[in-house]
Amino acid sequence: MSFVYQPTDEQPEVLHADHEVLVVSKPPGLLSVPGRGEDRTDCLIERLRGAFPTVLLVHRLDMDTSGVMVFGLTPHAQRNLSKQFEDRKTKKTYIARLWGRMSEKSGKVDLPLIVDWPNRPRQMVCHETGRPAQTDWRVIRANDSETRVRLSPVTGRSHQLRVHMASLGHPILGDPLYASGAAADFPRLMLHAESLRFKHPETGVMQSFTAPAPF
């Protein structure tokens, strides 16, 4: 069954805007940037362009993930913020609902990831050729059917949080790629970028922005 892109009608929420940076909360079900094909042109950055014509991409969230994203509004801001992401100077936290009860209260996943070429965009763990990937996790609360966690990615690999949680035997609820059966049967991917911390590209002052999880 081929994927049909049906972007959400929900609009992004502007959390902060100045002459250098734009911070928004992305709704789930919306691409960060245009995909391939005319049917995938509706995306977050295009929706923002009307009000912020100079908006420039710094990082992405998966289509199914909601939450905080930062954009540059000048080439300088884009370069500066991109370098902060590259050098792991930013701090990101996510909220996720996972399948099953986790037995530990916290932990770290350290598993290298690589694209699963025959099944892309899926990613997979590969100890031979994968790129290093680390995720810290901490349980917020749990019951017999699911666990709510706060995730702090150390690296920023594609699908990192989704693959890492699935590798623990606790896939993120509603994940169309890495969950199956009842774990996949949710109206959306239960993953939300809760907070983002970075230095303002002009002032150098550390700033933090938060959007509470909608689930």
Active-site positions read 62
Asked whether 197 and 205 are in contact (CB, 8 A), the reply is no
Cα–Cα–Cα angle for 207, 212, 215, nearest 5°?
155
Backbone angles phi, psi at 57, to 5 degrees: -75, 140
Asked whether 195 and 206 are in contact (CB, 8 A), the reply is no
56 contact partners, CB below 8 Å, separation of at least 6: 71, 72, 73, 74, 75, 77, 78
Beta bridge partners of residue 109, listed in sequence order: 135
Q: 192 to each of 119, 197, 200, how far by Cα in Å?
A: 25, 15, 23
Retrieve residue 140's tokens.
């917020």
